Structures are given as C-alpha cells and as structure tokens.
Amino acid sequence: MLATVGLLGGCGSARAGSPVPNGEDAATYVSAKFDDTLNALSDQFNANDTRKTRLDQLVVFDERRLNATISAVQLGHPPARLSRNHSNLDSNEYLDVYHPANSPVEYTLLGPVYASLAPTPWVQMPYTSGQYNECYWEGAQTVCKMLGAVQDSVAAGRAAKSASSRPDGSVELIAEVTLTAFIDNDVVTFPAAIASQLTPEMKAQTLRTRVALDPRGKLTEIEMTGKIPGNGHQLEIDYHYRLDGTPTEADLPKIPDPSQVTVLADSAAVSDFYARLGDIQGQGR
C-alpha cells in the first residue's frame, strides 16, 4: 500500500524539541501516531503541489554500484513536470523527461549512452499519465515507494522507533525498515544475479530511516541508510530525498525544436523504445 507524506500531524503531548521516551513507550507511542495518519498520506501527492526535489541513490553490492541523482521540478496548476535522472558514475548516462503543462505529449532527452535509441537528441511520445497521481511520475515514484516501505514495516510492528518535535513545530521520525519491505515496494529492482544472493537473514535486517516533516506536516526529507552483510557479501544502501529550493520557470527547459525530436506516435513505437532502453540498462547490470 502506498504511504506518502504528512506522516504525523503532530506529537501530541510531546514537548517541543524533546524526544518521545525510548523503549516500549516510544515504540507504542510512535506506532500509534503512524497508524493514525498513514492512510491519509497519499493526499499530498494527489494535490500536485509545486515543489523542487533531489533524490540521491547509492546501492553497493560487493564491487557493483548504482550511484545516481534524480532532480525533479513540478510547477503550476496544472503542473509542468521535469525529472532529470543522471548517473554519478558516468556523465554520459542520463535521461531527462519533460511534460509541459496541459500538453498531450512528453519529451525525453537522451544522454549519449542512450543515443542509439533515436536519431535525434529528444524523443516525443503520447502523455498517458494525466489521470494518475504524482506517484506515477518519474520525479516522485521512488519517494512514494520509500514511504510505502515505511508503512509496511510499521504495519508489521516494532519498526517505529522515535519521534522528536522541534520548537518551530517540525517533526523528525526514526524508523527501522526491513530490506524485505524495501525490495517488496520496488524502491530498487535488483538484477537476478544480486537478488539470488540475498538470503532471508539479510532481508530481515533493517535500514535506519529518518523522516522529516515541516510544521504543516509536509514531507521535507526522507533518508534510508544501512549496511547489510550476509552470505559472504555486503550490501550498502543510502537513499536521500529532500526538498531543493523553490522552483521557477527557469528550471524548466524550452520545448525542443521539431528538428531535434523523434516522434513515437503510437503504443507499439513506445513499447519498442522502452524495450531497447531496458536492453541498454541491462547491459550495465
């Protein structure tokens, strides 16, 4: 089940700037607060609020490594949306996806690694996600999945560890999210060669998760970190999502010139594009 922002409406009787007591009382208190509000969390990702965000992703399994950053802008009502997915290991590996407000099409800018997919720098395809909420957009998919993993772990019991309120009314929550919940919510999809090495004991281990909310209960940050050893391997995960300033029109690209665009006019062309994209990405796994 999707869990999104607004994890806590407040800390009840918790004094500003003070943590809820540790141990059994803290677990009971924080779990109750999560439980009170989780089912309503998707509302903030249904509202299409203007926001600018950054998500840093690091996954290391022995010598294999994913290191990428997704920067995203959502601006206006109805929103224009831009997501920029860039590798931090290879500056030529990136995909920028831009949907102008109210446009029936979206545009994808291909980094050099993906240049073989089209004869032009950009491809255009029909925009088919207008009826879905923000969590179906590349710029918000991963944070929604991260919060889904938090929800699943809390629902399973004992994951919520502490909550601290600050003098300004903001709140920080700490939870332990199992690797199982992380995988089941598809926060990252491990290739088969890695997935087959992850034992049940490894999947039962947890990632320390920090969730920060502003005084209005809006999500400002979520971070999941941990090192999980087992079966002669070590898995390291470090995911960090946060707000990244105030977006403006200057953050959005101009609609590309038609001479720079390859049009994928129908679902068959789009499916072929994504199949070939998957082949290229699979070569690096």
Q: Is 71 helix (H, G, I), strand (E, B) or coil?
A: strand
Both tokens assigned to 269: 């062309």
Query: Which amino acid, one-letter code, is at 142?
Result: T
The SS3 of residue 28 is: helix
pLDDT of res. 7 = 25
- Per-residue pLDDT tens digits for 59-86: 999 999 999 999 999 999 889 999 999 9
**Which run of H or of E encompasses 127?**
none
- The pTM assigned to this predicted structure is 0.85
149-165 as b/e: b if 16+ CB within 10 A: bbbbbbeeeebbbbbbb
Candidate from 36-40, 163-167, 224-228, 276-280 with smallest mean pLDDT: 36-40
- pLDDT, average across residues 44-54: 80
C-beta separation of 99 from 87 below 8 A:
no
Write the Ramachandran bin of 280: left for phi over 0, alpha for psi from -120 to 50, otherwise beta. alpha
User: Please, what is the angle between helix 24-37 and helix 141-156, to 10°?
Assistant: 130
What percent helix, strand, coil does the chain show, rounded to 5? 30, 35, 35
- Per-residue pLDDT averaged across 88-106, rounded? 96
With contact defined as beta carbons under 8 Å apart, do 179 and 205 qualify?
Answer: yes
Res 17 pLDDT > 80: no
Provide mean pLDDT across the span 151-164. Answer: 80
Give the model's confidence band at 49: pLDDT under 50 very low, under 70 low, under 90 confident, else very high.
Answer: confident
More confident residue, 33 or 55: 55
Question: What is the dihedral sign for C-alpha 173, 208, 243, 274?
Answer: negative
**Position 284 confidence tier, pLDDT thresholds 50, 70, 90:** low
pLDDT of 16: 40
Contact between 176 and 210 under an 8 Å Cβ cutoff? The reply is no
Mean pLDDT over 134-148 rounds to 88
What is the C-alpha separation between 79 and 96, in angstroms, rounded?
17
What CA–CA distance (Å, rounded) separates 128 from 69?
Answer: 25
